[in-house]
Amino acid sequence: MTTSPRVDLVAAPTPLHALPTLTAERGGPRVLVKREDLAGIGGGGNKLRKLEYVLARAVATGADTIVTIGAHESNHVRATAAAAARHGLACIGLLVDETGVAPTPNGGNRFLASLFGARLVHLPRGTDYEAALAGAAAEVRAAGRVPFVVPAGGSTAEGCLGARDLAVELGGQLRELGVEPSRIVLATGTGGTLAGLAAGADSLPGRPVLHGVSVGAPRARQRARVEARLHTLVDLLPDLDVVRALDRVVIDDAQIGPGYGVPTEASCAAVSRLARREGLLLDPIYTGKAMAGLLAEIEAGRVRPGEVVVFVHTGGAPSLPAYQDHFGRAPAGGQGEHAT
């Protein structure tokens, strides 16, 4: 185990439950959902487990201001803003235009991040993340304060360590249920969550494949990203066998569509379907793409009836207001029908 310091953010264990309608409709695999979207404060999501170790490191360095970065509708910036608020730290969130599409005024995460007290700075498409973070940190220092920089997605070695806790917790829950899943399906972006799961994969009964549905990068690049994260994790877990961990990982790049941050027809269909059949909220950028990937695997017969699959719900629903126009709803202030 590890002795890395950790602050408390996650209401662990998060629930693990069945999606009965989905299973019945497909006459097929038993799908369990691991509810990381319910992981405690700030709208939940997979970033909170990372932030437990990342913020502990920040506090240990004497920082008083967290500086981080993400896309316009970043779940990571929103979660970091909440976590910083909880631990009495200021937070600056740099929000980069990643899609070239003007953000709607209904931004969900942007609204919430400012509600949590973060100062948000909007930056144009093509912004160099490292340079922007360094510049913002220098400004904090010039103001006599102490910055701590958290890179996009919080996927430092400490961040990946948090995702490894998820594997250990999930492994315990699966053992208690007496099930051995054939796959764990999840969205993969900066790769930290998948790397952490892979690092903890020996805790999962049944040797499941870790099926990462890429939300932006093609297969080879995403795999290299996960591998790089695993190598940084060796600093904290010297016994980690990177080759063995990576061997569990499969990258699926069939759901990216036009690119990161852009909803697809399949991701929106998955969001609508899970909302209508299970009352479960996904988002069209991460979990909708991951669920679309799982549904495609079931459709193609690559996941068989009788198998057990775990879908890791990594969060993201707080971004939904920003994408409402993709769901056939009239924009606010448009010609929509009024209820009264």
Ligand X SMILES: *Cc1c(COP(=O)(O)O)cnc(C)c1O
Q: By CB under 6 A, what part of segment 261-320 binds ligand X?
A: 283, 286-287, 314-316
Q: What does 167-197 look like in DSSP terms, one character per residue?
A: HHHHHHHHHHHT---SEEEEEESSSHHHHHH
Q: By CB under 6 A, what part of segment 5-34 binds ligand X?
A: none
Token readout for 177 is 């249920």
Closer by beta carbon to ligand X, 171 or else 261: 261
Alpha-carbon gap, residue 136 to 146, rounded angstroms: 11
Q: Quote the least distance from Cβ 178 to ligand X, whole Å.
A: 28
Closest by Cα among 32, 14, 36, 34 to 23: 32
Closer by beta carbon to ligand X, 23 or else 193: 193
Closer by beta carbon to ligand X, 159 or else 208: 159
334 DSSP 8-state letter: S
Q: By CB under 6 A, what part of segment 109-168 binds ligand X?
A: 153, 155
Closer by beta carbon to ligand X, 76 or else 248: 76
29 prior amide bond cis, ω within 30: no
Q: Quote the least distance from Cβ 13 to ligand X, whole Å.
A: 19
Residues 39, 311, 262, 223, CA torsion sign: positive
Residues marked active site are found at: 74
CA dihedral 196, 202, 204, 206 (to 10 degrees): 140
Closer by beta carbon to ligand X, 231 or else 304: 231
Q: Quote the least distance from Cβ 290 to ligand X, whole Å.
A: 7
For tokens 């100062």, what's the residue?
A: 119
Q: Quote the least distance from Cβ 300 to ligand X, whole Å.
A: 23
Among 99, 109, 188, 264, which residue interacts with ligand X (rule: CB under 6 A)? 188
For tokens 């930290």, what's the residue?
A: 192
Q: By CB under 6 A, what part of segment 39-58 binds ligand X?
A: 45-46
3-state DSSP assignment of residue 221: helix
Q: Quote the least distance from Cβ 165 to ligand X, whole Å.
A: 13
Alpha-carbon gap, residue 111 to 219, rounded angstroms: 33
Stretch that binds ligand X, among 2-10, 142-150, 164-172, 191-199 (CB under 6 A): 191-199
Q: How many residues bind ligand X (CB under 6 A)?
A: 20
Q: Which residues bind ligand X (CB under 6 A)?
A: 45-46, 75-76, 153, 155, 187-194, 283, 286-287, 314-316
